[in-house]
């Protein structure tokens, strides 16, 4: 135990303080007025695997000194009087050089058919010390999404860290634009910790309610919902009174598509792969919903749900479903191609039926898109979505799995459509 050797000590006390699980110190923090040192430590955003605190009372000067010893250094806090008064930083002993070890999931082998746990490998990486302008972050929530399956083949090679977005907390900053303790959305893949220069981060809005889970920044107030928002407004160009069709409707994107269409004054028809999911769709306010796995004819089910056809079709599935649905589009109908989850795991490409004839005679507009097209309008979308959530107009459901070690299982389960709403992993 390192004590303040310059002090006259007539009494001392030691105690262990509760800690977070991050396992390393921070060199910055903020001091708050409190009589509870343990609470103060947490509010200073310091975290370490072993805190030791000594309280030294100096009767002659009526100062109380706390010397806080951590694994990579120490600092001294002081206040006047043993019973109260604000704490202040008296002296900081420089931290020694230390390294943060991040856990990462890498793509061990490209997926063939459905993803398997053996396709992934868990590794550890030591992160370097921060440079000026950089910040260190720890992941809090990580997203698993269908696009990862398709993009992995196109954008990744074996041995690369798996792609993906997350909500992360800033734990050290040498960038004046970012403060320790702030939460951001980042696209840094399956990592427990990472370093950023801040240019690729989205701060959570300051208006974010404390009662709202921050994980929603990945789903109903995040990329999934922004996909629905811009897909409906900019690609489908929905209008009040129109009928909108959405498949994979109980998923992270589809469930938001339907609710935004209802907010916009549209009739909504959706389908999902279980009776429980269909019941959930009806709770969300779908005008018509059915289980596509149990209907005798998908064509008949779609015709029954909307005999007059569909103005807008938001397609998350592709394949056979899309081929059938296109035939029921109204003239000049608009189709937004967001995903093709029915095709991602195919080892042999599917063949027809082909869509050119109905596209020509119905004069349809079909457009594929990626939400990154509207990165410059990200704040606009988040502001609108957050407002609707707070007002209760936009409901959410999350499937949360705990433990970074469970990332592959959460990903595989999502691809098998086991989730209701947004699939998230809590670190």
**What ranges do the domains of the chain cover?**
11-93, 100-219+401-426, 223-374
In the chain, pLDDT over 90 holds for what percent of residues? Answer: 69
Res 410 pLDDT > 70? yes
State the pLDDT at residue 95.
38
* Distance of alpha carbon 86 from alpha carbon 35, whole angstroms: 8
Please check the confidence at residue 104 and state whether its pLDDT lies above 50.
yes
For tokens 């998908």, name the residue.
298
What is residue 352's predicted lDDT score, i.e. its pLDDT?
76
Instruction: Please indicate whether residue 369 or residue 84 has the higher confidence score (pLDDT).
Output: 369
- Arithmetic mean of pLDDT, 289-314: 97
Question: Per-residue confidence at 148, pLDDT binned at 50, 70, 90?
Answer: very high
Residue 86: the pLDDT is: 53
Task: pLDDT band for 350, please (50, 70, 90 cuts).
Answer: confident
Which whole number is the average pLDDT over 206-217? 95
- Mean pLDDT check: name the lowest of 96-100, 109-113, 150-154, 284-288: 96-100
CA dist 39 and 18 (Å) reads 9
Percent over 70 (pLDDT), the chain: 77
Which CATH architecture does the domain made up of 100-219+401-426 adopt? Alpha-Beta Complex (3.90)
The predicted-structure confidence for 155-203, as pLDDT tens digits, reads as follows 899 999 999 999 999 999 999 999 999 999 999 999 999 999 999 999 9
Position 349 scores a pLDDT of 82
- Give 85's pLDDT tier (boundaries 50, 70, 90): low
Q: Is the pLDDT of residue 74 over 90?
A: no
**Residue (of 360, 355, 293) closest to 324 by Cα position:** 355
Q: Look up the CATH architecture of domain 223-374.
A: 3-Layer(aba) Sandwich (3.40)
pLDDT of residue 345: 78
Half-sphere exposure at residue 57, Cβ-oriented, CA atoms within 13 angstroms: 10
Q: In the predicted model, what is the mean pLDDT of residues 393-414?
A: 96
Selection from 160, 165, 162, 25 nearest residue 100 by Cα? 25
At 341 the pLDDT is 87
The pLDDT score that the predictor gives to residue 48 is 36
3-state secondary structure the chain: CCCCCCCCCCEEEEECCCCCCCCCCCCCCCCCCCCCHHHHHHHCCCCCCCCEEEEEEECCCCEEEEEEEECCEEEEEEEECCCCCCCEEEEEECCCCCCEEEEEEEECCCCCCCCCHHHEEEEEEEECCCCCCCEEEEEEEEECCCHHHHHHHHHCCCCCECCCCEEEEEEEECCCCCCCCCEEEECCCCECEEEECCCCEEECCCCCCCCCCHHHHHCCCCHHHHHHHHHHHHHHCCCCCCEEEECCCCECCHHHHHHHHHHCCCEEEEEECCHHHHHHHHHHCCCEEEECCCCCCHHHHHHHHCCCCEEEEEECCCHHHHHHHHCCEEEEEEEEECCCCCCCCCCCCCCCCCCHHHHHHCCCEEEECCHHHHHHHHHHHHHHHHHHHHHCCCCCCEEEEECHHHHHHHHHHHHCCCCCEEEEEEC
């Amino acid at each position: 135990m390192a004590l303040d050797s310059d002090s006259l000590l007539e009494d001392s006390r030691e105690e262990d303080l509760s800690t977070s699980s991050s396992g390393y110190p921070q060199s910055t923090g903020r001091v708050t007025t409190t009589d509870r040192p343990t609470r103060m430590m947490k509010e200073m955003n310091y975290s370490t695997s072993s805190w030791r605190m000594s309280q030294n009372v100096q009767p002659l000067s009526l100062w109380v000194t706390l010397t806080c010893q951590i694994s990579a250094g120490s600092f001294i806090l002081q206040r006047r009087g043993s019973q109260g008064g604000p704490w202040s930083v008296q002296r900081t002993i420089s931290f020694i050089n230390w390294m943060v070890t991040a856990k990462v999931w890498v793509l061990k082998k490209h997926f063939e058919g459905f993803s398997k746990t053996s396709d992934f490998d868990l590794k550890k990486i030591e992160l370097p010390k921060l440079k000026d302008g950089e910040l260190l972050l720890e992941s809090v929530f990580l997203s698993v999404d269908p696009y990862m399956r398709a993009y992995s083949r196109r954008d990744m090679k074996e041995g690369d860290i798996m792609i993906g977005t997350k909500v992360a907390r800033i734990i050290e900053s040498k960038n004046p634009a970012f403060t320790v303790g702030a939460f951001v959305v980042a696209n840094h893949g399956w990592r427990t910790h990472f370093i950023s220069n801040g240019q690729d981060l989205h701060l959570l809005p300051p208006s974010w309610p404390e009662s709202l889970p921050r994980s929603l920044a990945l789903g109903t107030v995040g990329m999934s919902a922004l996909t629905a928002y811009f897909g409906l407004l900019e690609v489908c160009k929905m209008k009040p009174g129109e009928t909108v069709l959405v498949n994979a409707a109980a998923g992270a994107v589809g469930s938001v598509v339907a609710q935004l269409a209802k907010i916009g004054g549209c009739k909504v028809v959706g389908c999902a792969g279980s009776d429980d999911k269909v019941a959930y769709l009806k709770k969300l306010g779908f005008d018509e919903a059915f289980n596509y796995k149990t209907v005798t004819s998908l064509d008949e089910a779609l015709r029954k749900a909307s005999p007059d056809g569909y103005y807008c079709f938001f397609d998350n599935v592709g394949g056979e479903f899309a081929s059938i649905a296109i035939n029921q589009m109204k003239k000049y109908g608009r189709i937004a191609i967001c995903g093709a989850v029915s095709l991602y795991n195919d080892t042999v490409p599917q063949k027809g039926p082909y869509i050119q004839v109905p596209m020509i005679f119905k004069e349809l507009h079909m457009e594929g898109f990626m939400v990154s097209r509207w990165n410059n309008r990200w704040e606009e979308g988040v502001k609108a979505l957050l407002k609707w959530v707070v007002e209760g107009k936009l409901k959410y459901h999350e499937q949360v799995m705990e433990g970074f070690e469970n990332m592959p299982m959460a990903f595989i389960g999502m691809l098998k459509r086991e989730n209701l709403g947004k699939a998230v992993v809590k670190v």
